[in-house]
Amino acid sequence: MKHLSYKNKSLQFNGADLATIAKKHRTPFFLYSEETLVGNYQEFAKGAQAAGLIDPLVCFALKSNPNRELLRTLAAQGSGADIVSGGELRRALEAGIPPEKIVFSGVGKTEEEILFALKAAKKGIFSFNVESIEELDLINSCARRLRKRARICFRLNPVVKPKTHKFISTGNKTHKFGLLEADILTAVRSPRFWTNSQLVGLSVHIGSQLLDLGATRRGIARLCEVALKTNIQLEFLDVGGGLGVDYDPEDSQKLPAVADYMALVAATVEKHFNSRSLYRPRIVFEPGRRIVARAGILVMKVLRNKVSEDNHFVIVDGGMNDFMRPSLYGAYHALLPVKQAKADRTCHVVGPICETSDCFGSDRQLPAMKSGDLIVLCDTGAYGYSMGSNYNLRGRPKEILMNRKKKLRIVNQAQPYEELL
Ligand code: LLP
């Protein structure tokens, strides 16, 4: 891991000594690197351009990490936003992301949220990514009430099965997401939906943490086919998010390079539009994880050890309320001791929450660790803080951002008890 390395047997995060940082901040805390965040965003945005895509728009998926300062940083790089709630829309606007770069996804947009999004700017937001016919009807009637025109994008359910955890797979008929081709084409031809709406794009998002891009290619191919069948010159095709990261070093071999992913998108679009059309739609992306997962770590402290016959538990002060992925999806995240020493024991690293699934790693090889020693859970920048909770009435942890000059800034204070009780 490029941003995590040992120097004099002490773990460094982007060249800064974690033991020194942790002296000043109570654990657990999230630590983010602006350098990694911006590097990942640039790799993505430049990759899209290098693949020859015309005027690509990268809309960062706020759900992966809606921290204000991280968003401001991304906004300054030119990022747009993929949002799924009125809260995320407000956060994106507040961070300086212009409405004309915001796509609104999600199956359950409320009337209040739709009205707010329509009012966000003269022309409203970039697009409503519509997931049902009833939703389309509601958006059209809200726009009529406001005497506006809503920009509509249908989210296609391409009926493909990606290789990922079933909880984060979204592209099949049994999933609540997207519309089937036949329903999209019927709606396109029904004038009653279009009095105050305009179809400007089609989108697809088949799932998250994808390392195998076979289903991604099929999903984008389906997107192109349906786009051509609408007989409308659509402004854009939104290929969603989903590009995975190698949380487990064993996955490094499988990890698709951003450049290869972009080449796949460009080639698939070109293949479909080449003979049938002179125009090329703009391509929109909604990445979350690939931009921010690697930019964050969760720094925790060992509270104590406990040995039950041959089970050695290392009990840490972070819990599943701070970071849910291992307990919710059985996800693997590397654990690194801040003090480097010989990893001579097999341990279960567990939190203080009263659930057996509150475990950050089973059977991990670690050195002897005692009360007060620091341990880092890696790659927690995406779906970390954003999925946290107050379970067991625990306050939310602090978030710290290291800027490109290695200066630290608290970008979210630890939640005080007064707010909890
Ligand atoms: N666009 C849409 C419509 C989405 O539903 C999502 C993620 C994204 C974009 C961003 O996907 P990404 O590039 O981050 O894979 N909590 C889970 C992930 C849930 C993803 C939900 N949708 C996890 O921790 O793995």
Which ligand 1 atom minimizes the distance to the CA of 288?
14
Q: How far apart are CA 31 and CA 379, in angstroms?
A: 10
Residue with tokens 């480097």: 340
Res 164: pLDDT: 77
How many whole angstroms from 151 Cα to the centroid of ligand 1?
23
Domain count of the chain?
2
Counting ligand 1 atoms within 8 A of each CB, the residue from 64, 165, 380 with the most, and so the one to mutate, is: 64
Q: Are residues 319 and 365 in the same domain?
A: yes
How many whole angstroms from 53 Cα to the centroid of ligand 1?
23
Length of the chain: 421
**CA-nearest residue, atom 22 of ligand 1:** 208
Give pLDDT tens digits for 238-293. 999 999 999 999 999 999 999 999 999 999 999 998 877 778 899 999 999 999 99
Q: Are residues 301 and 263 in the same domain?
A: no
Res 1: pLDDT: 62
For residue 165, pLDDT beyond 70: yes
How many whole angstroms from 351 Cα to the centroid of ligand 1?
25
Q: Which helix (H) or strand (E) holds 145?
A: helix 133-145
Q: Are residues 25 and 174 in the same domain?
A: no
Give pLDDT tens digits for 350-395. 999 999 999 999 999 999 999 999 999 999 999 999 999 999 999 9
Looking at 285, 317, 341, which one is the last position of a domain? 285
Which ligand 1 atom minimizes the distance to the CA of 155?
3
For residue 237, pLDDT beyond 70: yes
Q: Are residues 112 and 243 in the same domain?
A: yes
Q: Are residues 160 and 235 in the same domain?
A: yes
State the average pLDDT for the chain. Answer: 95
Q: Which helix (H) or strand (E) holds 236?
A: strand 236-238
How many whole angstroms from 358 Cα to the centroid of ligand 1?
22
**Distance from chain centroid for Cα 347:** 30
With beta carbons less than 8 A apart as the criterion, state whether 203 and 154 touch: yes
Q: Are residues 164 and 222 in the same domain?
A: yes
Counting ligand 1 atoms within 8 A of each CB, the residue from 57, 63, 165 with the most, and so the one to mutate, is: 63
**CA-nearest residue, atom 7 of ligand 1:** 208
pLDDT (mean) for 217-243: 96
Residue with tokens 């007989």: 231
3-state secondary structure of 278: coil
Residues labelled catalytic: 354
pTM of the model: 0.97
Looking at 266, 285, 304, which one is the last position of a domain? 285
Q: Are residues 251 and 133 in the same domain?
A: yes
Residue 267 lies in a domain: yes
Q: What CATH number should be reported for the domain holding residue 393?
A: 2.40.37.10
Give pLDDT tens digits for 139-156. 999 999 999 999 999 999
Amino acid at site 393: L
Q: How far apart are CA 328 and CA 167, in angstroms?
A: 9
pLDDT (mean) for 23-28: 97
Residue 71 lies in a domain: no
Residue 20 lies in a domain: yes
Res 172: pLDDT: 77
Encoded tokens for 134: 């009833």
pLDDT (mean) for 310-328: 98
Counting ligand 1 atoms within 8 A of each CB, the residue from 208, 245, 284 with the most, and so the one to mutate, is: 208
Residue with tokens 């966000």: 120
Residue 12 lies in a domain: yes
pLDDT (mean) for 304-308: 98
Strands 282-285 and 236-238: parallel
Residue 11 lies in a domain: yes
Tell me which residue of 107, 118, 219 sits closest to 163, measured CA to CA: 219
Encoded tokens for 163: 């290789």
Q: Are residues 298 and 325 in the same domain?
A: yes
With beta carbons less than 8 A apart as the criterion, state whether 32 and 70 touch: yes
3-state secondary structure of 228: helix
Residue 161: pLDDT band by 50, 70, 90 thresholds?
confident
- Residue 236 domain boundaries: 98-285
Amino acid at site 236: F
How many whole angstroms from 15 Cα to the centroid of ligand 1?
30
Residue 134 lies in a domain: yes
With beta carbons less than 8 A apart as the criterion, state whether 288 and 59 touch: no
With beta carbons less than 8 A apart as the criterion, state whether 245 and 255 touch: yes
Q: Are residues 312 and 201 in the same domain?
A: no
pLDDT (mean) for 181-193: 96
Which ligand 1 atom minimizes the distance to the CA of 106?
3
Looking at 235, 262, 285, which one is the last position of a domain? 285
Strands 150-155 and 197-203: parallel
Q: How far apart are CA 311 and CA 363, in angstroms?
A: 9
Give pLDDT tens digits for 59-91. 999 999 999 999 999 999 999 999 999 999 999
Encoded tokens for 129: 């990514």
Res 176: pLDDT: 87
**CA-nearest residue, atom 20 of ligand 1:** 208
Q: Is residue 242 left, alpha or beta, with left meaning phi > 0 and alpha meaning psi from -120 to 50?
A: left
Q: How far apart are CA 257 and CA 245, in angstroms?
A: 10
Q: Are residues 244 and 336 in the same domain?
A: no
Distances (CA, A) of 297 to 141, 382, 417: 45, 10, 24
Residue 78 lies in a domain: no
Residues touching ligand 1 (Cβ under 6 Å) are 61, 63-64, 82, 105, 168, 205, 208-209, 240-243, 286-290, 325, 329, 383, 387
Res 32: pLDDT: 98
Share of the chain above pLDDT 90, in %: 91
Tell me which residue of 348, 413, 326, 336 sits closest to 374, measured CA to CA: 336
Q: Are residues 308 and 196 in the same domain?
A: no
Q: How far apart are CA 211 and CA 214, in angstroms?
A: 9
3-state secondary structure of 352: coil
Omega into 28 within 30° of 0, i.e. cis? yes
Tell me which residue of 191, 77, 60, 201 sits closest to 137, measured CA to CA: 191
Res 137: pLDDT: 97
How many whole angstroms from 123 Cα to the centroid of ligand 1?
27
Q: How far apart are CA 256 and CA 245, in angstroms?
A: 8
Q: Are residues 164 and 274 in the same domain?
A: yes
Q: What CATH number should be reported for the domain holding residue 210?
A: 3.20.20.10
Residue 324 lies in a domain: yes
